[in-house]
A and B are shown apart, each in its own frame.
Chain A
Amino acid sequence: RKEVEQDPGPFNVPEGATVAFNCTYSNSASQSFFWYRQDCRKEPKLLMSVYSSGNEDGRFTAQLNRASQYISLLIRDSKLSDSATYLCVVSYSSASKIIFGSGTRLSIRP
């Protein structure tokens, strides 16, 4: 079992829709959680950190469920420009324990 697992997608949704995807992690000692966005053939870019209490940044909401060991990302009123791969990142104890998921591909159609 992978340490961090994501549904690879693709999620294909119409513009304006709400879309959500999860990321599960296996190590209960995980301490920090992030969502990154990666456009095709570009570098990952930090989208948001995920706090225990959940956090929101504009149309994006991230949640952490420690009991079930998953984090989620919700995108409201999706835009064409949201089309990208979304990488979940989980870290614990040290730099080498920064684990990236394989990403979820999201495609927004007009």
Chain B
Amino acid sequence: DTGVSQDPRHKITKRGQNVTFRCDPISEHNRLYWYRQTLGQGPEFLTYFQNEAQLEKSRLLSDRFSAERPKGSFSTLEIQRTEQGDSAMYLCASSPMTGIGYEQYFGPGTRLTVT
């Protein structure tokens, strides 16, 4: 399967714990995005990488969130000191440098539940 993959698919954690998610984009895609989606809402932008550079970060993203893409391939999203409000689906997407606008391909997501 050459699509976007994410790991883990589900994560249950206790409030205050740290969690880390991984995203492997489509191999030839330079752009990588992280989104958060809650029930009944569309995905909400968190951050964006072009190759290894983190070019944009949502101002809604607190300093408990950090993302990396060290070699311009896979990316990790870490949430420190999780809160119940962090419970959501975390989606990763990638897109090629060329192409129309920001045509994105999503991974299956990591569903986070904070208890």
User: Which residues of A are in contact with B by a Cβ distance under 8 Å?
Assistant: 4, 8, 31-34, 42-46, 49, 87, 91, 94-96, 98-103
Across the A-B interface, give the 5 residue pairs with the lowest CB-CB distance, nearest first: A32-B101, A100-B42, A95-B48, A43-B106, A96-B56
For residue A102, give the distance in angstroms from its CB to the closest CB of chain B.
5
Q: Name the A residues within 8 Å of B101 (CB-CB).
A: 31-34, 49, 91
Report B29-62 residues with CB < 8 Å from chain A CB. 31, 33, 35, 40-45, 48, 55-58
B108 near A: Cβ within 8 Å? yes
Known: A49-B100, A100-B43. A43 touches B55 (CB 8 A): no
List 25 interface pairs A-B (beta carbons < 8 Å), by A numbering.
A32-B101, A32-B102, A34-B103, A42-B108, A43-B107, A43-B108, A44-B91, A44-B106, A46-B103, A46-B105, A49-B100, A87-B43, A95-B31, A95-B45, A95-B55, A95-B102, A96-B48, A96-B58, A98-B104, A100-B35, A100-B44, A102-B40, A102-B41, A103-B41, A103-B42
For residue A82, give the distance in angstroms from its CB to the closest CB of chain B.
19
Check if B56 sits within 8 Å of A95, measured CB to CB: yes
User: Which residues of B are in contact with A by a Cβ distance under 8 Å?
Assistant: 31, 33, 35, 40-45, 48, 55-58, 91, 100-109
Q: Name the A residues within 8 Å of B45 (CB-CB).
A: 95-96, 98-99
For residue A90, give the distance in angstroms from its CB to the closest CB of chain B.
10
How many Å lie between the Cα of A33 and that of B43 in the bound state?
15
How many Å lie between the Cα of A85 and that of B91 in the bound state?
16
How many Å lie between the Cα of A49 and that of B107 in the bound state?
19
Interface of A is mostly: strand
For residue A48, give the distance in angstroms from its CB to the closest CB of chain B.
10
How many Å lie between the Cα of A94 and that of B59 in the bound state?
14
How many Å lie between the Cα of A44 and that of B3 in the bound state?
13
For residue B69, give the distance in angstroms from its CB to the closest CB of chain A.
13
**Contact for A98 among B100, B102, B106, B108, CB less than 8 A:** B102
Extra A-B contacts (19), CB below 8 Å, given A46-B105, A102-B40: A4-B42, A31-B101, A32-B101, A34-B103, A43-B109, A44-B91, A46-B104, A49-B101, A94-B56, A95-B31, A95-B48, A95-B55, A95-B56, A98-B45, A98-B102, A98-B104, A100-B42, A101-B42, A103-B42
